[in-house]
Structure 1
Amino acid sequence: MASHIVVGVDGSAPATAALEWAAADAQRRGLDLRIVHVCEQQPRREGIEHCTRVLEAAADRARRLTSDVKVTTELLGGNVIEDLIAESESADSLVLGSRGFGGFAGMVVGSVGLAVAGHAVGPVVIVRAPSAVRYDTVVVGHDGSGHSEAAMAYAVEQARARKARLQVVFAWQVPMFSPYAVTYNSLIEDAMREAMRAARERVEPWRVRNPDVDISDEQRCARPVTALMEAARSADLVVVGSRGMGGLASALLSSVSHGVLHHVTCPVAIVPSVKETP
């Protein structure tokens, strides 16, 4: 089991928010904190000095925010995407700001953030800004797929560490049929009721295995991204699998995880099904 969280910093406001989130998570869960900065533009001495200052400032801030967390730093000099993916191989999780400058420009909505979230070996947490309000609620999307099972495990751990409620969301979108196709509409309604029943039953074993965590479940007739966006309005963290039941095997991120990353403003954790090199 990995003993440290990795956070990437570049001196930007979202990266600072990511650092603060990672420091708090390391404190809660008894993990070490590894702070990395990818200095892609290396050759000139001024560039190296600037990168070193960014890293040192981040370490100083993390140590002020924590009491007994072991904080280490490393200045990396390769390709930002490759370096961050490599860092995820030995980390409990990788935490990044949603946007930055330099190597982190375009995070989340750009190619760098999506590539890291899609290829990382373990959970990737994207943080946009410091949280002004605490809701004591973790939200997880769960559809029974392997990726959502891994997301559920991470969400349970987060809820336990936070002493927060875990809200499990399952969304089922009803296909559109002609109003005259009464038989088909009846079949769809039956299928929807069965899907909702199965979703409730899938949550029960998690309650049995984790009696110390307050786990509630909610089934919604809505698009998955819409349902998660609504639940996220009163959540401290939203957790989703990197792919779900509808994801293509070749896709880096499912449409749901992609949509959540773009539209949910609280921290979002993207969790792959197993830890293996992409």
Structure 2
Amino acid sequence: MTVTVGVDGSESALEAVRWAVEEARTRGERLRLVHAETPLFDAPDLDRKVRARLNDQAWQVLREAARVAGDGEPELHVEVGAAAEVLVAESTRAGVLVLGTRGLGGFGALAVGSTAIAVTAHASCPVVVVRGEKPARPGPVVVGVHGGPHSVPVLAHAFEEAAARGVGVVAVHTWHPVVGDVVALSAGVDLAEYDALHGGRLARLLSPWRTRYRDVPVEVVVGRGSASVALLERAEDAALVVVGGRGHNSLTGLLLGSTSHALLHHAPCPVMVVHTEPRNT
């Protein structure tokens, strides 16, 4: 498996490379740098020198990224095609796919543009969007826990990342009072009891991970209201935030949740999105 980075010559992509170098070392995996060369329409009169020049530029981008990677000794790969399609294809052989927040050309407007949205929604492996002015920083791994079996792959990656870094996990779960809860509140029932109920469920969900990763400290946060707000607050001091993403039905159909979207746009640290549902092609 590899830690694969989409690079396009932008400073944001180079920040992603710097983060990925440490991730590859932590995982003990190879680093792979990929650039999508803009496809040209076949035309008999197209000057071969134009194609050669574009290819040279692509390799210059990769060589600069390799220089930034230093002794990471990355694999370099140029693929002709649309950026999102190239990276989604790369995700089938990667352990994790790493992107910057803003790019040029092939990976433009990442985290808010169509390329990042498509890649994050459709990749076969977890995707990390490297955010923040200082993306490589100490701190815990913050994980959003929705609850139920869909949380299993999210927790698996969160604990794996925390153990590899030698840091703790902050497990965040929020809930919204429904009609029955409001009625109970009006009847004098303390919603703190509901907090405790959700806390108990979260503790049971975390129990096997605590057992498996005994050296990883765990902080449990249960609250009411917006999951994205709670996660963004905890992300201020985090090394990484890990959240789940829903499945997809086509390359153009986005089915990421609102929490994932909010974090991709606003988190002060790198964000890992882990798919929690089957994705149909």
Q: Is TM (by shorter chain) over 0.5?
A: yes
**Aligned equivalent of 1:55:** 62
Letter in 2 for 1:131: K
- Within the candidate set 255, 261, 269, 2:258 is matched to 255
In angstroms, what is the RMSD of aligned CA positions?
2.8
Deviation at 1:133, TM superposition (A): 7.2
AA at the equivalent of 1:53? Q
Alignment-mate amino acid for residue 12 of structure 1: S
CA displacement at 1:41 relative to structure 2: 4.8
1:258 Cα deviation after fit:
1.2
Of residues 11, 14, 19, the one that matches 2:17 is: 19
Distance 2:256 2:37 in 1: 27
* Greater than 4 Å deviation, 4+ residue runs: 175-185, 187-192, 274-278
CA deviation string 1:58-93 (max 9, x = no partner):
11221x2x4xx4520100101111110010011101
Q: What are the superposed Cα offsets for residues 109-156 of structure 1, whole Å, 9 maximum, x if unpaired? A: 111111110011110000134527733311111122444321111111
Q: State the partner residue of 1:220.
A: 223
Deviates more, 1:196-205 or 1:39-48: 39-48
Which is worse superposed, 184-193 or 88-97?
184-193
Aligned pairs, how many? Answer: 269
| Deviation at residue 165 of structure 1 after TM alignment | 1.1
Which residue of 3, 6, 31 maps to 1:5? 3
Equivalent residues in 2 for 1:72-91, closer than 5 Å: 72-91=75-94
Task: Tell me whether 1:139 sits opposite 2:125 in the alignment.
Answer: no
2:33 aligned partner: 35
Whether 2:95 is the aligned partner of 1:92: answer yes
Calculate the TM-score normalised by the size of structure 2. 0.86
1:273 shift after superposition: 2.6
Q: 1:243 offset after TM fit, Å?
A: 3.1
Instruction: Say if 2:117 is the partner of 1:114.
Output: yes
* Greater mean deviation of Cα atoms: 251-260 or 7-16: 251-260
Structure 2 unaligned blocks of 5 or more: 41-49
Residues 75 and 179 of structure 1: CA distance in aligned 2, closer, same or farther (over 3 Å): closer
Q: Distance in 1 between matches of 2:148 and 2:97?
A: 22
For the residues of structure 2 that align with 1:160 and 1:179, how far apart are their CA atoms? Answer: 40
Task: Provide the C-alpha distance between the structure 2 equivalents of 1:154 and 1:114, rounded to a whole number of angstroms.
Answer: 21
Match of 2:202 among 199, 204, 212: 199
Q: Which runs of 5+ in 1 are unaligned?
A: none
SS at match of 2:13: helix
Which amino acid is the alignment partner of residue 67 of structure 2? D
Tell me, yes or no, if structure 1 residue 230 matches structure 2 residue 233: yes
1:176 shift after superposition: 7.3
Structure with the greater alpha carbon radius of gyration: 2
For 1:14 and 1:277, locate their aligned partners in 2 and report how far apart those are by CA, in whole Å.
31
Question: What is the letter of the counterpart of residue 6 of structure 1?
Answer: T
**Matched residues in 2 for 1:164 and 1:44: separation?**
48
Structure 1 pair 147/118, CA: closer, same or farther in 2 (3 Å)? Answer: farther
Partner Cα distance (1:153, 1:90) in 2: 19
